[in-house]
Amino acid sequence: MLKQSIELIEKALRENRKCSTGLAVQQKVYGVQRSDDVHNAEILACIYADDPIFGYWYGHIFRHPKKEHTLVSAVTWSTKLVNAQSSRLLVDRFRYWVIDRLEYEPCLSQHDGDVYAETNNFSEATQALCRMVEKFALELRHPQSDDKGEHHADLRILSAYGLEGRFDEHGAWNPPPMPNPLILVKNPRESS
């Protein structure tokens, strides 16, 4: 099911010319299976990447952390370009920057389902994200755009990603996820 979902979302990305990632970033969809349960998977796609002033726009499917048996499909805007050497590390880094470090903003929406949807199974979550990708246009999602028409910030993403961040026992940010052979350690002189 994960492979089929990835293929459907990649097709939606290819068919919308307004979904652009430029030359340096691949327009590809990545998925990771979190357990044996087919509905416990996560998908991440870079929908739009251009100059950093516009931020980076991602499509994300994941389990809602507070609602049992609920999957979230969302378009997410962040100032962080996430990169990694594997799908799992890419998704883990995205979660780190967006959920742990709160580097995201709610997107503008004109209609219900433009940037956020909750569903009960992975197939419906995939279809919801495909519809979001098919309708994506930066000028409709970016808060500093002049041509938004009727719009509002869809704040439902706040309940899924949170507003608190994740800190260590000393109130500092944890280091970002690293590839297995690399470990980021804190400089002992910094902690004195």
Instruction: Identify whether the C-beta of residue 181 lies closer than 8 Å to the C-beta of residue 85.
Output: no
The per-residue DSSP string of 69-112 comes to T-EEEEEEEES-----SSHHHHHHHHHIIIIIS---BPPEESST
Q: How much is the pLDDT for 183? A: 59
Q: How much is the pLDDT for 191? A: 53
Q: How much is the pLDDT for 54? A: 84
Q: How much is the pLDDT for 150? A: 72
Q: How much is the pLDDT for 147? A: 55
Q: How much is the pLDDT for 154? A: 92
Six-digit token string for 26: 């691949």
Q: How much is the pLDDT for 47? A: 95
Q: How much is the pLDDT for 166? A: 87
Q: How much is the pLDDT for 144? A: 65
Q: How much is the pLDDT for 160? A: 96
| Boundaries of every domain in the chain | 2-161
Q: List per-residue pLDDT tens for the chain, 192 residues long.
A: 899 999 999 999 999 999 988 888 888 999 999 888 777 899 999 999 988 888 899 999 999 999 999 999 999 999 999 999 999 999 999 999 999 999 999 999 989 999 999 999 999 999 999 999 999 998 888 766 555 467 788 999 999 999 888 888 888 888 899 887 655 566 666 554
